[in-house]
């Protein structure tokens, strides 16, 4: 990131190819608010470290809420990583997060396991509907 202008040009070229860009582990390490200002990201994935304590820590709630407000105002998709409890999911739903990932929903899977999982979900959905 020593030359942000070159990085911005590269990312714009990638975007011109209809490829979406995502910042993973947002809020930790090298992720920076300036990335949102200077680079054409489509999605930010909020790091699990912010999600872990949202059931009982008001500071965590406010950080996660602020990230959601910022992403919404910048028209950036939002994903909450590391959702492991129903309480975390409820809190994220209250904060208007529409996309989450974590062990509460499913453990990491191989491609074959994902295909099987999605087929089961589709079958269960269609069976209930009809």
Q: Which residues are catalytic?
A: 81
Length of the chain: 130
Nearest in space to 97 (alpha carbons), one of 74, 68, 58, 62: 68
Q: What angle do CA 82, 49, 87 make, to 5 degrees?
A: 55
Look up residue 41 and give its DSSP letter: -
Q: What are phi and psi of 55, to 5 degrees?
A: -75, -25
**Distance separating alpha carbons of residues 129 and 38, to the nearest angstrom:** 46
Residues 56 and 64: beta-carbon distance below 8 Å: no
């Amino acid at each position: 990131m020593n030359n942000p202008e070159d990085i911005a040009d590269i990312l714009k070229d990638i975007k011109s190819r209809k490829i979406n860009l995502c910042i993973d582990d947002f809020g930790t390490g090298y992720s920076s608010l300036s990335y949102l200002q200077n680079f054409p990201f489509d999605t930010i994935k909020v790091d699990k470290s912010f999600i872990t304590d949202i059931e009982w820590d008001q500071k965590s709630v406010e950080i996660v809420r602020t990230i959601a407000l910022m992403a919404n105002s910048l028209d950036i998709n939002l994903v909450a990583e590391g959702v492991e409890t129903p309480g975390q999911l409820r809190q994220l739903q209250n904060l208007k997060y529409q996309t989450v990932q974590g062990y509460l929903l499913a453990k990491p899977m191989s491609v074959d396991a994902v295909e099987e999982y999605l087929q089961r979900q589709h079958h269960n959905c269609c069976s209930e509907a009809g």
